[in-house]
Amino acid sequence: MESKTDTGSASVTSEELAAIEDEEVLNKMLDGATDFEERRMIRAALRDLLKKKRDKREQDRGSRQQDLRQQGLSKGGTTGGGVSVGRASMNQQPQTNKPPGQLSSTAGGQPGLAVASAQKCPPAAAPNAKNVKQMLLDWCRAKTEPYEGVDIQNFSSSWKDGIAFCALVHRFFPDAFEYSILNPNKPRDNFQLAFSTAERLAGCPPLLDPDDLVRMKEPDWKCVYTYIQEFYRSLVEKGLVKTKKRL
């Protein structure tokens, strides 16, 4: 028996949800859904759609690599260099712009300045701040729930590879970039993509610096919390989030 759920005046089946290939449509349906079973079905459709796009991307990449191998063989050359171009290796180590010995100094020769810049975050203290922090964490978890590779448990380690930032931004701007090709082993690229997209489309100021974040074992939770607050406010100002509470 096929599952059905009410969305407004229409009755939508799981098969009809599976036929929707636009993430933005599913996201809007999820935002407007109130019934638990309805939300479960839409989340499942979102997860399936993201997996389908990721599988297609991998298939296309494999076809391109095969074509490159065939072209190299037909020309009598080696294929090693050509095949590796554009390959997203999941085993490579996170990239940084400076060797370990230079992480504690900057061009001005002032020790610790680079790391200190990452700590220039306003204190997160405010009336009822604990409740606000938990509410914002729950909001982040709910918005990124359909995304594979994202498990938000806190405002520090859960964000260290940049994927959670990208998922949160992608939820509101699904046409801005292709989520399925992101590589968790390239945190700096992920940070840069998320922050630049949020600034361009939501007007959220880039309070965090990707270079500072990749130098730290885990991001400072106060810095991440402050940035997410600013992103949330930017979405409210754009009318993309409706709320009666001010963070």
Write down the pLDDT at residue 113.
39
* Tokens linked to 12: 């939508």
Percentage with pLDDT > 70 across the chain: 65
Mean pLDDT of the chain: 76
pLDDT greater at residue 1 or residue 144 = 144
pLDDT > 90? residue 243: no
Closest CA relative to residue 182, chosen from 200, 169, 198: 169
Q: 12: which strand partners?
A: 5
Closest CA relative to residue 150, chosen from 55, 159, 95, 191: 159
Domain spans, the chain: 15-62, 129-238
CATH code for residues 129-238: 1.10.418.10
**What's the mean pLDDT in 9-13?**
61
Residue 126 half-sphere exposure toward CB, CA atoms < 13 A: 14
Q: What tens digit of pLDDT does each residue of 216-236 get?
A: 999 999 999 999 999 999 999
- Name the least confident of 31-45, 148-162, 168-182, 230-244: 31-45
The pTM assigned to this predicted structure is 0.55
Based on its alpha-carbon atoms, the radius of gyration of the chain, rounded to whole angstroms, reads: 21
Residue with tokens 């638990």: 36
Percentage with pLDDT > 90 across the chain: 43
Q: What tens digit of pLDDT does each residue of 23-71 get?
A: 778 877 877 777 778 877 887 887 787 877 767 766 776 676 676 666 6
